[in-house]
Amino acid sequence: MTATWVRRFDATATPDEPEWLRPVRRAAIDRFAGTGFPAPRDEEWRFTPVAAITQAEFEPARPGSRVSRDAIAPFVFGHAEWPLLVFIDGRFDASLSMVPALPGGARAGSLAEAITAGDATLARHLGHHAPVESSGFTALNTAFIQDGAFVHVPAGVELAMPVHLVFVSSGETEGTVAQPRNLIVIEAAARASVVESYVTLAPGRRYFTNAVTEVVSGEGAWTEHTRIQRESDSAYHIGLTHVEQAAGSHYRSFTLAMGGAIARHNLHVRLNAPRIETLLYGLYLTRGDQLVDNHTAIHHDHPDCNSWEVYKGVMAGESRAVFNGKVLVRPEAQKTDAKQTNRNLLLSDGARVHTKPQLEIFADDVKCTHGATVGRLDDVALFYLRSRGIDAATARVLLTYAFAAEVVEEVALEPVRLELERLVRERLGAGD
């Protein structure tokens, strides 16, 4: 409800809010007050019935939920030395987090603390990249910027270990909203891997997560960004990841979406200079009456850039999936090499997918391809496995897992890849 949010905004003024942040938030709430949430007729949101979110009243989650280390343990993976930032209902929890001293002045910590500390990098970037025009949800998140993760890797610094950001919904009360806001700045020739996990302690709870992450990738930087969305099956999740890439940088993303009653992720990447490489991989697994929507947009504004995108989906039950992949190639972006693939596997008669590649190409010397497929398990392969003694149910799981695992293989960091494989196996009911 738009009016409620505008009223809430007026209550958020604090005397110690830095001068640069107030106008950013003010512009966002003005935008939100003017346009509100996306309407059903909005083409960008056509298949995503956000009315369930926008017509409901969600109370901002109260800070201070007591969550034990044991409760978080199932969501933590990799090595104990990995920097781990835990957020409970959108607020940083220092006692559950583990942030070792990082090399070369690199930092990973609470956004709220960095705001209070008057961090200059933060002031330069926060709210300056993800446009509030992109949707009412982004505007709302920006208007209520408060906490989240701030990761900063200075020029030339390599982080050997990934930074894991775990956003936990405590589910202490029904009907709450958390709006984490994250900023990841990987400066020139730096190298880092960041994992965002969205998880819940209350699998049946209805709540709302509205997350925005801005990523700034400097010249020649290498970034691997993994997003694991495993919210409650009754939750709503709206997320925007907005990426800005400088010359010669390499950004690779992997998105696993398997939670939420309605879950939407927008991934927007701007290629702001020549010789950029962008790799977007995604996997969505839906069941029951879930709806998972992935919208990606790759903006090729300069020459000699490559983008490679593969999203795959497995839909069961009565679930719905949406994939929309925009690739925009401006006239000056000659020698663009862009390839997009979306492959979908329907496991039931009731499952549906809407897939829409959207290539808008205004340069003539480019190589741009796309392909979208929707299919079922291959009967011939199924029979082949059964003819070797593997029962039908196991054979189905094996083929389904093989379909899904192919895209997970693209994750560069092995421990992250192994965890993703474990999650996918667990979800699909595949054994070792």
Partner 1 sequence: MLEIRGLRASAGGNEILRGIDLTVNAGEVHAIMGPNGSGKSTLAQVLAGHPAYEVTGGRVSYLGQDLLEMEPEERAQAGVFLAFQYPVEIPGVSNAYFLRAACNEIRKARGLEELDPMDFLDVLEEKLKVVEWGPEIMSRAVNSGFSGGEKKRNEILQMAVLEPRLAVLDETDSGLDIDALRIVAGGVNRLRRPDNATIVVTHYQRLLNYIVPDYVHVLSGGRIVRSGGKELALELEARGYDWVEAPAGVA
> To the nearest whole angstrom, how small is the minimum distance from the Cβ of residue 323 to partner 1?
20
380 binds partner 1 (CB under 8 A): yes
254 binds partner 1 (CB under 8 A): no
> Candidates 110-118, 167-175, 323-331, 377-385 — which segment interacts with partner 1 by CB under 8 A?
377-385
Rounded Cα distance, 49 and 82, in Å: 38
Our separate counts of H helices and E strands in the chain read 10, 21
Angle formed at CA 51 by CA 45 and CA 56, multiple of 5 degrees: 145
Nearest to 184 by CA among 156, 161, 212: 212
In the range 382-401, which residues lie near partner 1 by CB under 8 A?
A: 383-392, 394-395, 398-399, 401
- In sign, the C-alpha dihedral spanning 59, 60, 62, 65 is positive
> Candidates 128-136, 150-158, 204-212, 380-388 — which segment interacts with partner 1 by CB under 8 A?
380-388
> Candidates 23-31, 156-164, 352-360, 378-386 — which segment interacts with partner 1 by CB under 8 A?
378-386
414 binds partner 1 (CB under 8 A): no
> To the nearest whole angstrom, how small is the minimum distance from the Cβ of residue 230 to partner 1?
22
Are 69 and 166 in contact by the 8 Å Cβ rule? The answer is no
What is the b/e burial string over 11-44, where b = at least 16 CB atoms within 10 angstroms of the residue's CB?
A: eeeeeeeeebeeebbeebbebbeebbbbeeeeee
418 binds partner 1 (CB under 8 A): no
Are 212 and 138 in contact by the 8 Å Cβ rule? The answer is yes
Are 58 and 89 in contact by the 8 Å Cβ rule? The answer is no
Task: Choose between 161 and 399: whose C-beta lies nearer to partner 1.
Answer: 399
> Candidates 142-150, 301-309, 362-370, 403-411 — which segment interacts with partner 1 by CB under 8 A?
403-411
> Candidates 39-47, 268-276, 295-303, 373-381 — which segment interacts with partner 1 by CB under 8 A?
373-381
406 binds partner 1 (CB under 8 A): yes
Task: Choose between 362 and 384: whose C-beta lies nearer to partner 1.
Answer: 384
> To the nearest whole angstrom, how small is the minimum distance from the Cβ of residue 314 to partner 1?
12
403 binds partner 1 (CB under 8 A): yes
Three-class SS string for 180-201?
CEEEEEECCCCEEEEEEEEEEC
> To the nearest whole angstrom, how small is the minimum distance from the Cβ of residue 349 to partner 1?
18
Full DSSP string of 342-370: EEEEE-SSS-EEEEEEEEEE--SS-EEEE
